[in-house]
Amino acid sequence: MNTSGRGRSLLPSAAFRKCGIVQKYKALAEATPGVYFVGRLATYKYYNMDQVVAQALTIYTQLSRRERLETVAGGQ
């Protein structure tokens, strides 16, 4: 279990995940244009920082490509 050193979990408990609140947050995030979550906040899972940075860079790359494609397509 990951704790802050004070005995409190840094990640939601299994009960929290099962109650449906995580799914509600995910649905809200997906319905909000221009908002992207990566890493621990997005998945409620533990990741090392190098994994989180890799996820963020992947999303950035995908968004950059999409924006460039839309710009090119819009200019034709």
pLDDT band (50, 70, 90) for residue 13 = low
Sketch the domain layout of the chain as residue ranges. 14-74
Q: Residue 68 corresponds to which tokens in the numbers above?
A: 């460039």
Q: Are 10 and 4 in contact (CB under 8 A)?
A: yes
Predicted TM-score (pTM) above 0.75: no
Instruction: Report the range of poorest mean pLDDT among 16-25, 33-42, 44-53.
Output: 16-25
CA atoms of 70 and 55, how far apart (whole Å): 23
